[in-house]
Structure 1
Amino acid sequence: MGNCMTFFGDMLQHLRAWRGRRTAVFGVLFALVMLLIIYSSNSGSEVFPSTALRGRSHRPPSLKKWGLKSGYLPIYGNKSLDSHCHQCVIVTSSSHLLGSKLGSEIDRSECTIRMNDAPTSGYEADVGNKTTVRVVAHSSIYRVLKRPQEFVNKTPETILIFWGPPSKMQKSLLKLLRRVSMSFPNASAYVVSPVRMKQFDDLFRGETGKDREKSRSWLSTGWFTMVIAVELCDKVHVYGMVPPNYCSRRPQPRKMAYHYYEPKGPDECTTYIHNERSRKGNHHRFITEKRVFASWASLYNITFSHPAWA
């Protein structure tokens, strides 16, 4: 009987020890899994890795064949957008232009394209004053209309192109745009049609292999502006846009404001990297868009300076 009790006692001790080891093993495994999850959510891995463009299923149709008239609807009247320029410049809103003294060079261009509510007053020496086309996102419309003498009526014959998802371009907003257009006859105002908005989405999917909505991405005004410039112009020169690998260079670039007119605003590279890597919420994929622009450079005669692209 004593031997049996000893045997069962030994078995119980072994069982307890085994359970302890099993608990420890499970604890270690659980910790490793949690660390992996945390690392994956916070690591530098991108939603759109640099190899994504190589996986495109097909090259989208040439932007030159899209056709202007069907894509941009007049807000007031029935005048179609049929402008054409041999040589255009896109003036970005980047603080890389501050101190550049490019204003006179930019103003000598045949056509000058600007974005959203980027002002020229007070910055003429670096960004010029001439505005042929201004591309405006739905989120910037009110900021533009609040200062019509700066953005709407400053340069004779300015073309304003407003873009936004159909759900954002409500009748009340279009009514406001129409009223402003009637007040400033020198400016021609257009809105991107719903059909063309879908084309922009299809273009993004064709170039990146990613569905914009499923990948929780917003197209930037830079995306719309680049496509519109390619449609309107034979040659496009972009001032102030950094190349896609700029923010990953070593040593890291010095901090620079995202907008030249907001010196205390967010840092440019911090903004780009956060938007590119974030998986929660909808974000612009600035770096991915720039990779696409790089692939368009030779196709559509696009050049970049300040900084120059390799």
Structure 2
Amino acid sequence: MKSLSIHWICLLFLSVCLLLWYNHVMRTGLARKTGLHGYVRVHPKTRSSLYLLDVRCGRCAVVSSSGQMLGGGRGHEIDQQDCVIRMNAAPTVGYGADVGNRTSLRVVSHTSVPHLLRQQGYFFGREAGTRYVVWGPEKNMRQDGKGKIFNALVMLAKKYPHTHIYTVTREKVQYCDSVFQNETGKNRMKSGAFLSTGFFTMILALELCDSVLVYGMIDGSYCSLSNHSFVPYHYYEPSRLDECRMYRVHEHAKRGGHRFITEKLIYSRWASQGKLRFVYPTWSP
């Protein structure tokens, strides 16, 4: 009887320990690793990778920052979609009729983070419900205190604790590189190219959305047409660079260029699979 009592006491003790451990796991978030792998939240109180981008959308609108958006009057249509994905620091105020007013997610390049810092009231006040997904090279995103951009994101997360800021992990960036190489047959780094924010955005949209409607993105052959029109590179910078000129310069740059035209040819192939559709300007794969 004595040995049986000891046996039950040991079982009870073990059960209590398991319950305490489970409670600790739930409290610290170790059980919260649900969502899209490769997108990790910058938490204001910890640098550990506990929180993933836990979003799922039905139909998404991906809104380009291109001047192609001007005059289209697609704002209301864009706002009707389940999720609206924008890029970098493209504003909506003053452009709502053409680009819409809602923003569910922003995919942000490390080079655009200073724009967020300068306009904190807009991005983390007016757009407080937006999720920010920031990508960049390892030297800027490292988490050992030497990553300049990551440190800035930690500061923002502490100042605006209710804001959801995520980083694209090193492994995810490498995956995007491999997608580029598989599609083009060229090593991204050896070819001197940098992936554009648009490339990261399209991959993310295809992962989290059931269907994707793209606004403001021209096809890969548009700039080769003799009658193509002058369109500003950004809709919010009407007097700046011509879009096609910018595309050509980057496409042929030996180092550090975005392969905008090549990327659009890749999107065309993805669109042939049926999940991705270019609705304005309208074009088919």
Q: Bin the TM-score by the shorter chain.
A: 0.7 to 0.9
2:282 aligned with 1:282: no
2:173 aligned with 1:206: no
Distance in 2, matches of 1:301 and 1:182, equals 37
Partner of 1:183 in structure 2? 159
- The equivalent position to 2:270 in structure 1, one of 263, 279, 296, is 296
Q: Superposition RMSD on alpha carbons, in Å?
A: 1.6
2:248 aligned with 1:273: yes
Once the two structures are superposed, the pairs formed by residues 64-143 of structure 1 within 5 Å of their partners are 68-76=35-43, 78-143=50-115
Number of matched residues?
Answer: 242
Instruction: Report if aligned partners of 1:153, 1:186 keep a CA contact under 8 Å in 2.
Output: no
Question: Residues 116 and 230 of structure 1: is their aligned pair in 2 closer, same or farther, counting only changes over 3 Å?
Answer: same
Classify the secondary structure of the residue corresponding to 1:305: strand
Once the two structures are superposed, the pairs formed by residues 10-25 of structure 1 within 5 Å of their partners are none
Instruction: Report if aligned partners of 1:133, 1:161 keep a CA contact under 8 Å in 2.
Output: yes
Structure ID, larger Rg: 1
Classify the secondary structure of the residue corresponding to 2:89: coil
Identity of aligned residues (%): 42
Classify the secondary structure of the residue corresponding to 1:218: coil
- The equivalent position to 1:237 in structure 2, one of 213, 234, 242, is 213
Shift of 1:156: 4.4
Shift of 1:270: 0.6
The amino acid across from 2:266 in the alignment is V
Return 5+ residue gaps in structure 1 as ranges. Answer: 1-66
Classify the secondary structure of the residue corresponding to 1:283: coil
TM-score (norm 2): 0.81
Instruction: Report if aligned partners of 1:159, 1:187 keep a CA contact under 8 Å in 2.
Output: yes
Return 5+ residue gaps in structure 2 as ranges. Answer: 1-33
Instruction: Report if aligned partners of 1:162, 1:191 keep a CA contact under 8 Å in 2.
Output: yes
Question: Residues 69 and 301 of structure 1: is their aligned pair in 2 closer, same or farther, counting only changes over 3 Å?
Answer: closer
The amino acid across from 2:201 in the alignment is T
Shift of 1:173: 2.5
Distance in 2, matches of 1:291 and 1:68, equals 29
Partner of 1:155 in structure 2? 127
Instruction: Report if aligned partners of 1:68, 1:231 keep a CA contact under 8 Å in 2.
Output: no
Distance in 2, matches of 1:172 and 1:215, equals 26
